[in-house]
Structure 1
Amino acid sequence: MSGNTTSAVRRRTEEAGAGTVDAAVVGGGPAGLSAAVYLARYGREVLVFDTGHGRSTHHQVNHNYLGFPDGIATVDLRKLATEQLGRYPEARVVHHQITGIEGSAGDGFTLRAQGHSWRARTVLLATGVLDHFPHFPHWESYVGRSMFWCITCDGYENRGRSILVVGHTDAAAGEAMQLHSLTDRVRLLTNSRSDEISPEFRRRLDSAGIEVVHDRIQEAQGADGVLEAIVTRGGRRLALDALFSIQGATPETLLAGQLGVRLAESGYIAVDSEQKTSVAGVYAAGDVTALHSHQVTTAVHEGAQAASAANYFLYPPELKAD
């Protein structure tokens, strides 16, 4: 990001609370930034609340996003998107974590954080998920480099390598079987007191020659983000090239709950084809909306769709065809 652009964004950040903006976007990842760019281009005044956390802040290189033949690091994509957003005076970035939200489309919404408050006519939730990675010293440094969570994102680059799948459910067993189509060196570590893999999936793993180790992680061996081995509490040393964590993720739906937004049975925010939630004037985009399809491409699309729906919602009746 250029120095001038960075300064321009910074000047429009922390004191953005005066008055009521058209839209408040909670989340500064690909979904939120995509929504903000679209809203700004519609001429809407928009606030983006970015805490600097989330999947797009890991070290992962995205090879699926169209237009980048050599892939692009998600942190670089985030920087480019922020630079792009910084060119629109209608958009402002606020580096606060929203802890409370209330209101309605008729009266407007109030967002609160650490003694600050902001008002918005619409709200777009792009709060993402909290991944349940294995925890060991310096585990964060391995995420996106040699510890992954998505076969769609990183399976291809790990063809023929030694892979350790971590998880104790049929979802982990299924991921191990899928990875087995890319390499014949796959093992599964439950990393849990319980082993919930069903007999059916156990037979599939056995038939594929995938060893299941029912034990928990004691420590990891590696350096500079590259794992070399996992040592279990039982003393096993499991050499590996990559670890795929299939221990699940929790959608960040606290704010949705405060607004009374309906959740799907999966626990994710329920949205329609336009990213509308069950509450008028509230939209959701990105990983927080679905159990599957956690992709940057999906997040960018959903952010754009949500922004377009919010923009239409904000038009006065005489500009609407319905």
Structure 2
Amino acid sequence: MSRAAVKDGEPVPLLDAAVVGGGPAGLSAAIYLARYRRDVAVFDTGHGRSTHHQVNHNYLGFPEGIATVDLRKLAAEQLSRYPHARIVHHLITSVEGDADTGFTLRSQGHVWRARTVLLATGVLDHFPHFPGWREYVGRSMFWCITCDGYENQGRDILVVGHTDLAAAEAMQLHSLTDRVRLLTNSRSDEITEPYRRRLTAAGIPVVHDRLTDVEGSDGRLTAVHTRGGRRLTLQALFSLQGATPETGLARQLGVALGDFGYVAVDSEQKTSVPGVYAAGDLTALHSHQVTAAVHEGAQAASAANYFLHPPELKV
């Protein structure tokens, strides 16, 4: 058991900061906090976008790109060099308290207390589900044109989604390849007439049907099958079925949410609750990039560090 954890009923040591989420935002925040000599724990369940087979080609300093799982490993190794920081593999199920009395975090059978909380819980992507779907994410099934559009130039692409957002992505991908189709994968087809006209003009067919199974191996899709009996060949699938921000803990703390249910933060990643910060994909509908997550984690950590200073050290 981690030295940061105690069982219910035992005295609970007080952390300076509890970082919930072990992706790029959370790990960046923890490294900054550790370098400020703060006692920090990162709660990592080993799930989330950065655990897929994605290769990031946008991150500065990696000419050949870097797999996000490798970036996590490097960040964890970097954090391990600081004796007052640690990664705790527990799922935090509840959090309560305030900055005056301290925050209490719980997982199954264990309790932690912290002076500040930094939420980096990310989002839950709504990928098409079929047997073995996870092995394809980041290899031939993607969610982000900014991350993976360039590598799919000239390829046979299937966009999956039933809204104008999916139609817009299909139009953007059409600038990279003339082989784009759209599968609604839904009972409803909510693409509005203006977007439908644009798709037609670009020669992008819309298939109103639902995906049932796929063909492929080693993470590489070659075809999908639909409920209506269609077989659609492809080389890459871009899922535009949306994502849900993981705001359960934020709601427990009474943190204000902004448009589309994401956590509202200011320019320093402060939430509406003193002592609570948020960073990464949890904080905005757009700009879900590793570079942005790392920046926001650093910003949140610096704000939390300042918050933790005694009054005589604050300007």
Could you state the TM-score of these two structures normalised by the residue count of structure 2? 0.97
* Paired position in structure 1 for 2:205: 211
* Paired position in structure 2 for 1:15: 3
Structure 1 ranges of 4+ moved more than 3 A: none
In 2, Cα distance between equivalents of 1:233 and 1:166: 14
In 2, Cα distance between equivalents of 1:169 and 1:303: 32
Code of the aligned partner of 1:303: G
1:112 aligns with 2:111: no
Q: CA deviation at 1:244?
A: 0.1
Which residue among 67, 73, 85 is the counterpart of 1:91? 85
Code of the aligned partner of 1:248: G
* Paired position in structure 2 for 1:68: 62
In 2, Cα distance between equivalents of 1:280 and 1:65: 32
In 2, Cα distance between equivalents of 1:159 and 1:93: 39
Structure 1, residues 279-313: CA drift from partner, whole Å, max 9, x if none? 00000000000000000000000000000000000
In 1, Cα distance between equivalents of 2:34 and 2:84: 5
* Paired position in structure 2 for 1:8: none
Q: CA deviation at 1:265?
A: 2.1
Which residue among 49, 64, 69 is the counterpart of 2:43? 49
Code of the aligned partner of 1:45: D
1:255 aligns with 2:249: yes
1:80 aligns with 2:74: yes
In 1, Cα distance between equivalents of 2:269 and 2:177: 38
In 2, Cα distance between equivalents of 1:93 and 1:79: 12
In 1, Cα distance between equivalents of 2:259 and 2:212: 34
In 2, Cα distance between equivalents of 1:20 and 1:206: 60
1:158 aligns with 2:146: no
In 1, Cα distance between equivalents of 2:86 and 2:234: 44
Code of the aligned partner of 1:191: N
The alignment-based identity, stated in percent, is 79
* Paired position in structure 1 for 2:267: 273
* Paired position in structure 2 for 1:285: 279
In 2, Cα distance between equivalents of 1:232 and 1:20: 54
Code of the aligned partner of 1:199: E
In 2, Cα distance between equivalents of 1:46 and 1:265: 30
In 1, Cα distance between equivalents of 2:184 and 2:87: 41
* Paired position in structure 2 for 1:142: 136
1:302 aligns with 2:290: no
In 1, Cα distance between equivalents of 2:258 and 2:19: 21
* Paired position in structure 2 for 1:231: 225
In 2, Cα distance between equivalents of 1:30 and 1:148: 18
Could you state the TM-score of these two structures normalised by the residue count of structure 1? 0.95
SS of corresponding position for 1:112 = strand
Q: CA deviation at 1:170?
A: 0.2
* Paired position in structure 1 for 2:8: none
In 2, Cα distance between equivalents of 1:251 and 1:234: 32
SS of corresponding position for 2:259 = coil
1:101 aligns with 2:86: no
SS of corresponding position for 1:130 = strand
SS of corresponding position for 1:35 = helix
In 2, Cα distance between equivalents of 1:150 and 1:264: 22
In 2, Cα distance between equivalents of 1:233 and 1:258: 40
In 1, Cα distance between equivalents of 2:259 and 2:33: 30
1:197 aligns with 2:185: no
Give unmatched runs, 5+ long, in structure 2: 6-11
SS of corresponding position for 2:170 = helix
> What number of residue pairs does the alignment pair up?
309
In 2, Cα distance between equivalents of 1:123 and 1:16: 15
SS of corresponding position for 1:250 = strand
Q: CA deviation at 1:262?
A: 0.1
In 2, Cα distance between equivalents of 1:186 and 1:85: 43
In 2, Cα distance between equivalents of 1:197 and 1:14: 50
